[in-house]
Structure 1
Amino acid sequence: MSSPTSKRAGQVWAHVGQPFTATEFDVVIIGAGRMGAALALYLGQLGSGLPEHSLSVLLVEEGGLPNEEGATILASGVWTTLDLPPAQHARAEWTRQQLETALGEVQFQPRPLVALYPDAEPEVQPTREVLAPFPEALALIDPDRLPFARLDAQAATYRPASVALNAAQQAIKLGVNLLLNTRATPSLGGVRLERLTVTNTHQIVTHEVVQVRAGQVIVAAGAAGASLAEHSLGRHIPHAEAYMQYPQLAFASQSRTPTLRVGPLTLRPAHGQWTLEAQPAHRDPPNYQPCGGKLTGVPTGLRRELLELLVAQMEAVPALASEKLELGRSLSDIAGAWVSLNPFPAWQALGDGVYLLQGGPNADTLGLSVAYELAGEVGKAACGV
């Protein structure tokens, strides 16, 4: 497949008023979250370094950039090697270098992470000693029930949504094309594109359908990616997903306040308060529709599984039993998104020039390195190297 070698910036189609007449690309990436956008950037850099191997790349996103309905904009953005297997540390350090120097302003901020335990663990310290400099953090927990702590002084926080935005902008400067507000479905040898628009009654409808040919297709659609590839290509792909919510805790936090981890619950300082992130204990069943639960008989916007987890932690984290926990009146009051549950970010070749790229709980620490690795693989396959 022929590829242009021009250094001109890529084209951006943001709405259906811009005619889209392209019919063929070397690579089409479905999903412009941080994983898909980073992959587009690394493919653009590959062509920049090897002009004779420049690729025509199309990055497709169903919403805007960043997509406010996707998991990227809600992801915690906590970089830490705490509990990370040693074999993954090199990838983690490479990702950190990218976040610190290569992706523009993502508000990468050194912020310690403190994991709290009820019983002694290897390499622990007294909780009161570790959190003594941070009374605002100590006020959330019961140090008598969580007397032991492990400190990751090298941890940091950043904004994953800024990663997606900055990576896509840099990719466009390197010649990558961006198509927004478009639903994409992989097919053998190409991609089916449904350009979306909104009616005067606020309904999202398909404005036009376009079929483009593609030498390589990467499905980077987050939690929906595996089922999208499975249903479109007829391949069985084991995967798991869950609907995660991010309620707020209206206790004060500061720029130097550490991130706290209590079992599956992470308390992340954000906007002068705290955001709660609870790792799901299990996958959600197919076709599950999340719904709110009840706390002491009162309907809330928090799903039942999350309420059960928070109740289980209330003795160790008394702040959860206060009126400062934002319960919401409906599910729409609490920010949430579907997330994939694969333990580590990974890519998978599905055959016929199609790849699946997924993040997961460790995408904050490892995601960019996996996207970079796949860019090299896709670049070699597309260029016949």
Structure 2
Amino acid sequence: MTSPAPSSGRVFAHVGQPFEERAYDVVVLGGGRMGLAAAFYLRTFQPDARVLIVERGGIPSEGGLTGVARGVWTALDLPSAWKARARWTRGVWRDPASETGVRRPHDPPFHEVGVAALSEHGEDAARFLARLPQEHRILATTLLDFERIGGAVFDDTGGYGSATTLALSYGYGAVRLGADLLLNTEARLTNAGVEVRRLDITSTMQIVVAETHNVTASHVVVAVGSEGPALLEHDLGVVTTHGRAYVQFPRLELTAPSDFPVLRRSGFTLRPGEGGLRVLPPVRGADPAGYEPVGGRLVGVPVGVRREVIDDLLVALPDVPAFESDKLDLGKAALDVPGAWEARPIGGWPVWERVSKNVSLLLGGPEADRVGLSVALDFAATLSGARGRPWEDRA
């Protein structure tokens, strides 16, 4: 172990702030919620460990998935092996400050509105509809054909929130506990740790590498989302079987109150968001190597969502008549539709794995909303030799 870290960490936001550190116990690559949570828990379990977080942009991971994540928690369809972890994660969604000690009153809260899966099973769909307030009922019948669907399963413990809120809470919490944060910095893996490349912007708005430093580390955590497997292969020659996919979230331009329930049907999830309802498409497998995001065509007209999303929309039309209206915003190019690359861990659930003696990979993926934070905690506890997990205590 190197010398003990200070009681409070430092934030290096730009190259004007000299960065002279050259050794850490753990370097975490990635400022998304998984990486920031791992850093927070590492400092929690090992208060004397020197921890550095390296992020290419700002937090939470500008340009990554955290900013546009689905943000939906529900107990529906949870395998028994994940239930205790998911219940613990929901507690963090409800009140991140209870875990991290950081409360930002202006951050979006977790909306405990319930999640309804509309299917042939469960209670009669008309009874589910009748339990909604009048204004919610009107919007729901605009979205879905309840007579055709017939049934509903409602999870009143579910809801939606902001993954950004979680990431910021863990980021501030990690720094408060003593982790250093290096922003606007690229990183490459080396045999001894990482090479950090601090970025700057010129007067002609070009991003350039202003400084390069080698930082040794006893352990490196690769938590850069979908780019993690490729980084391991490129820098260390370590090949993993995880994949990635480019996900897009179209929007229905219908006014939806924040207390409107999350609705699921035909693989799609509809949840309130800025400017209307966010449309979360079904989760597909990994994209082929070399895939570049490109919009498709709908009745010969170029749109911004990829062809696979259009196919799913067409299949869902009988159940979700709102998709046939002019309220569905598909954009004219891929850049018009919010989206990002998302990891596809083998097995579909968040995972951490040790890929070499001093390097570990941490991946979230589509199920990060429900159990991702528990996997980050589990990794940090295992690396630190800590025993017991909070979901085991509450199971």
- Give 1:5 deviation, angstroms: 5.0
In structure 1, runs of 5+ residues without a counterpart are 49-53
On the 8 A contact 1:190/1:217 being kept in 2, the answer is yes
Question: CA offsets per residue over residues 86-127 of structure 1, 9 Å max, x none?
Answer: 11111011112223232435512212101112xx33xx1111
Residue in structure 2 matched with residue 24 of structure 1 by the alignment: 23
SS at match of 1:76: coil
- Give 1:202 deviation, angstroms: 2.5
1:346 aligns with 2:345: no
Residue in structure 1 matched with residue 297 of structure 2 by the alignment: 294
1:231 aligns with 2:234: yes
On the 8 A contact 2:126/2:146 being kept in 1, the answer is yes
In structure 2, C-alpha distance between the alignment counterparts of 1:39 and 1:355, rounded to whole Å: 11
In structure 1, C-alpha distance between the alignment counterparts of 2:255 and 2:368, rounded to whole Å: 27
- Give 1:265 deviation, angstroms: 1.1
- Give 1:271 deviation, angstroms: 3.1
Residue in structure 2 matched with residue 262 of structure 1 by the alignment: 265
- Give 1:278 deviation, angstroms: 0.9
On the 8 A contact 1:188/1:352 being kept in 2, the answer is no
In structure 2, C-alpha distance between the alignment counterparts of 1:348 and 1:276, rounded to whole Å: 32
SS at match of 1:110: coil
Residue in structure 2 matched with residue 187 of structure 1 by the alignment: 190
- Give 1:3 deviation, angstroms: 3.0
Residue in structure 1 matched with residue 75 of structure 2 by the alignment: 81
Residue in structure 1 matched with residue 206 of structure 2 by the alignment: 203
Question: CA offsets per residue over residues 12-49 of structure 1, 9 Å max, x none?
Answer: 1111121211110000000010000111111122234x
Q: Structure 1: which amino acid aligns with 2:57?
A: G
SS at match of 2:219: strand
Aligned residues: 371
1:55 aligns with 2:49: yes
> Which among 125, 129, 133 is matched to residue 127 of structure 1?
125
In structure 2, C-alpha distance between the alignment counterparts of 1:348 and 1:340, rounded to whole Å: 14
Root-mean-square deviation (Å): 1.6
- Give 1:378 deviation, angstroms: 2.0
> Which among 99, 102, 114 is matched to residue 99 of structure 2?
102
Q: Check 1:67–1:5 CA distance in 2 against 1; reply closer, same or farther (3 A cut).
A: closer
- Give 1:279 deviation, angstroms: 2.8
- Give 1:267 deviation, angstroms: 0.8
Residue in structure 2 matched with residue 142 of structure 1 by the alignment: 145
Q: Structure 1: which amino acid aligns with 2:60?
A: P
In structure 1, C-alpha distance between the alignment counterparts of 2:257 and 2:161, rounded to whole Å: 15
- Give 1:138 deviation, angstroms: 2.6
Q: Structure 1: which amino acid aligns with 2:377?
A: Y
Q: Check 1:263–1:188 CA distance in 2 against 1; reply closer, same or farther (3 A cut).
A: farther
On the 8 A contact 1:222/1:358 being kept in 2, the answer is yes
On the 8 A contact 2:29/2:224 being kept in 1, the answer is yes
- Give 1:300 deviation, angstroms: 1.2
Q: Check 1:279–1:194 CA distance in 2 against 1; reply closer, same or farther (3 A cut).
A: farther
In structure 1, C-alpha distance between the alignment counterparts of 2:199 and 2:66, rounded to whole Å: 21
- Give 1:321 deviation, angstroms: 0.8
Question: CA offsets per residue over residues 242-292 of structure 1, 9 Å max, x none?
Answer: 100111101221122110111321111113620011134332111211111
SS at match of 2:328: coil
Residue in structure 1 matched with residue 382 of structure 2 by the alignment: 377
1:35 aligns with 2:37: no
Q: Structure 1: which amino acid aligns with 2:282?
A: Q
In structure 1, C-alpha distance between the alignment counterparts of 2:54 and 2:381, rounded to whole Å: 20
SS at match of 2:374: helix
In structure 2, C-alpha distance between the alignment counterparts of 1:266 and 1:20, rounded to whole Å: 44
Map 1:198-347 → 2, pairs under 5 A: 198-271=201-274, 273-342=276-345, 343-347=348-352
SS at match of 1:227: helix
Q: Structure 2: which amino acid aligns with 1:309?
A: D
In structure 2, C-alpha distance between the alignment counterparts of 1:68 and 1:11, rounded to whole Å: 20
In structure 2, C-alpha distance between the alignment counterparts of 1:347 and 1:69, rounded to whole Å: 22
1:69 aligns with 2:74: no
In structure 2, C-alpha distance between the alignment counterparts of 1:296 and 1:330, rounded to whole Å: 15
- Give 1:207 deviation, angstroms: 1.6
Residue in structure 1 matched with residue 3 of structure 2 by the alignment: 3
- Give 1:204 deviation, angstroms: 2.1
